[in-house]
Amino acid sequence: MANENKLQAIISHCKEYGFVFPSSEIYDGLGAVYDYGQNGAELKKNIKDYWWKSMTQLHDHIVGIDAAIFMHPTTWKASGHVDNFSDPMIDNKDSKKRYRVDHLIEAYAEQLAPDASAALIQSMEQLIAADDFAGLKNLIDTNNIKCSVSGTCNWTDVRQFNLMFGTQLGSVAEESSEIYLRPETAQGIFVNFLNVQKTGRMKIPFGIAQIGKAFRNEIVARGFIFRMREFEQMEMQFFVRPGTQQEWYQYWKEARMQWHLSLGISPNKYRFHDHVKLAHYADAACDIEYDFPMGFKELEGIHSRTDFDLKNHQQFSGKKLTYFDTELNQHYIPYVVETSIGLDRTFLMLLSEAYQEEDLSTEEKQDARVVLKLPAMLAPYKLAILPLLKKDGLPEIAKELMAECRGSFKCFYEEKDAIGKRYRRMDAIGTPFCVTIDHQTKEDGTVTIRHRDSMLQERVALKDIKQIVLNAVQY
């Protein structure tokens, strides 16, 4: 399937099967804001649990926290977001449409031959790195890049726009102060660095992980849940001795790539992209990119953030944020290596991998199915329990199996419709196993288990079902 069609197919599938809906759809939706439906919420939660377990439970020196979305306004001064968290934008004077400059140039570059495209992107990256806005405008003009709405090249100058959402804290206008919805979860970790270090008696090197909402007023939000205004991040800040940050940066690059491969996705669907323009806080940075239906795009960032954040919070708060290293007998501000992955982008990656339209036609009849080949451990439901008929004691046996399994993993029970139809519905939401209870079950205690990906059916003992599923979904 062509890639642009695949994204459209995924969007429709998500809506039809309760994964993702446009936000407040009855009012025609809200740009780049989405709601997760009953199956989407389960899948999202399973991704979070998988990340959380690998970061905290399976790592000796990482603990997790859950900080508030609202933070003291000075946080964002100290972090540099008030002054630096902006993107260069340009407006088309005819259509009044506003573009992020890098998106405008990238979209144009995609239509060029590979060499010309690479040269253009390289020039753009150098100009962005040098904050050369006049140069960027010149690049757009000399390439005759047009607005997709008006079709003209009538552009304003390139300007910076801050991406943070501001709001008021306090009920009385005169007494209220402006605060921001956090644009990243990382700062909740930095301001709690000493709280966690002291109460958890943590020794460097150690990490603090967090999953939570972040908000950015993205001017050009596109690509379904790829670029949203309200999204979730799974971030981890790893605090290390100054001077060891390069070592740990390499360690986390490798460790995070291994995590991605553990999802069963082929290595050639991922690549590293080293940053030319470093964020205001970083001394090294790269992205892990995934080959989305729209092409290779950022999925996760790995950043060596130096001591920038802790040093600035110490300066702005007037509170000491140093660590005493007993082995070195020294006080210092730790350096930080961060891993930051978008939960919604991980969700989109998994759907991009899982979504398949299969032609099952034979000489006798035409047939097809849509199946989500999700990793079993992440699927919204692990097991569908399907009595063949609504009578003859079959539902009773099925409900006993349900009672036995539901405490260990999520099960779906259904009595209605022909069994083939029920299988197809389970394929469409990615349920890895279906079990059918039939009359033979009453005679010999066996059931049919059907495997989602191969569609193979086999006869196994009813008493073994729970363990079969557990073996496939535990991690």
Footprint on this chain of ligand GAP (rule: CB under 6 A): 184, 186, 216, 218, 227-228, 231, 233, 235, 298-301, 338, 340-342, 344-345
Nearest to 213 by CA among 67, 29, 92: 67
Could you tell me what percentage of the chain is helix, strand and coil, using 3-state DSSP and rounding each to the nearest 5? 40, 25, 35
Q: How far apart are CA 305 and CA 283, in angstroms?
A: 6
94 or 218: CB nearest ligand GAP:
218
155 or 335: CB nearest ligand GAP:
335
150 or 217: CB nearest ligand GAP:
217
Residue 309 CB, shortest distance to ligand GAP, in Å, is 10
225 or 469: CB nearest ligand GAP:
225
Residues 418/401, Cβ–Cβ less than 8 Å: no
Q: How far apart are CA 62 and CA 71, in angstroms?
A: 23
Residue 344 CB, shortest distance to ligand GAP, in Å, is 5
Residue 226 CB, shortest distance to ligand GAP, in Å, is 6
CA 440 from chain centre, in angstroms, equals: 45
341 or 383: CB nearest ligand GAP:
341
Closest chain position to ligand GAP (CB) = 342
H-run or E-run covering 210: strand 206-215
How many Cα atoms within 13 Å fall on the side-chain side of residue 102?
Answer: 15
Angle between helices 38-52 and 343-354 (to 10 degrees): 110
Residues 289/300, Cβ–Cβ less than 8 Å: no
Residue 54 CB, shortest distance to ligand GAP, in Å, is 17
**Omega cis (within 30) before 205:** yes
Residue 220 CB, shortest distance to ligand GAP, in Å, is 10
Q: How far apart are CA 301 and CA 285, in angstroms?
A: 7
303 or 373: CB nearest ligand GAP:
303
H-run or E-run covering 394: helix 394-405
342 or 387: CB nearest ligand GAP:
342
Residue 254 CB, shortest distance to ligand GAP, in Å, is 18
Q: Rounded to 5 degrees, what are φ and ψ at 217? A: -80, 70
Residue 72 CB, shortest distance to ligand GAP, in Å, is 18
